[in-house]
Amino acid sequence: MKFSVGYKVNTNNSFMEYIVENKEHINEMYFSWGDIPNGRNSMLMNRDLLPWEAQQKQIEDLSYISQNGIALNLLLNGNCYGENSQARSFFYKIGETIAYIGENFGLASVTTTSPLIGKFIHENFPGLDVRASVNMEIGSTIGMEYVAQYFDSFYLQREMNRSLKKIKAAKKWCDDNGKGLYMLANSGCLNNCSAHTFHDNLVSHEADIAKMDNAYEFNGVCRDHLAKNRLSILKDSNFVRPEEIHLYDEYFIAAKLATRVSSNPIKTLRAYINGKYSGAITDLLEPNHSGLFYPEIIENSRIPEGFAKQVMTCNKNCEACGYCAKVLETATVELEDVGFDINVNH
């Protein structure tokens, strides 16, 4: 399996260097640009750099990555563009951005949540692969068929990572229709989250929201739920362990690794490249929920080898099963028992 890795501006160049050192395992690097809303924080929001410095650092990093033959994927995957969603000026801005990146660094693909952006790119930049974002939550072949005219490839809904039947159906449809299929491997989001769309909308408007006198903070509902229902980290999740990513090789072009807000993206990428990891499995996920389990961790090496095969083919009758509960019991250990510390500031 090859991996798509996420870019974030960092004054430390170690992650960029690690990507290049392991470029045979890298399918592409994905990134947002400027102040265009995307599925995570604005690329320009950086505590160590001013906005213009952050933009300049990104230009240097994209040049470095491109010069080393690694493909680039632009994220236009905001969940909401508000009044700009259909605005002519917005599409001019997108066009200028794509043209600039393509001319200066090369651009292989664009990931977006907007069918209209997909249409615009097909009409004006026919050489680019237009990919449906995982934020669209497309988990069926009929969902792909609805928007097939706008997209050349698809991220499969993250919940489908644990349904081999639906993965096979999606792969067959994509092959039959000349489309590409991708997956997100290390999401820390819980399945079927009722607040997912609301949260994604907040992220899209975070710049404007930050200017307001806000009455509440909202960091998602998963933390509150997991604090009371630890079992959900296994039972109601969709991540794929590094040891079992090979089971997906025949179905997906590449696996996306969420690394844009990770405190240690090298650790995540190294684990999946090596296909092996010892430590808290939650440390590899985005969002990272390790702090909720402190002073215990869910030790990845204690999760049984057949975990992925079990959850990919089970009947999802969780009330009558108990498999995930047994795994959680086996894998949960005290930090003092494993001899290392953990970052709990998440």
What does the pLDDT read at residue 344?
Answer: 40
Give, to the nearest 10 degrees, the angle between helix 51-67 and helix 88-104. Answer: 50
What is the set of domains in the chain, with CATH numbers?
3-288 (3.20.20.70)
Weakest mean pLDDT among 32-41, 53-62, 240-249, 265-274: 32-41
Contact indicator for 298, 332 with CB cutoff of 8 Å: yes
Mean pLDDT of 199-218: 91
Q: What is the pTM of this model?
A: 0.94
Q: Quick check: 186 and 270 in contact, CB under 8 A?
A: no
Q: Is the pLDDT of residue 203 over 80?
A: yes
**pLDDT tens-digit series, residues 69-124:** 999 999 999 999 999 999 999 999 999 999 999 999 999 999 999 999 999 999 99
If you average pLDDT over every residue of the chain, what do you get? 93
What is 220-277 written as a DSSP string? Answer: -SHHHHHHH-TTHHHHT-----GGGGGGGTTT-S-EEE--TT-S-HHHHHHHHHHT--
The confidence score (pLDDT) of residue 338 equals 56
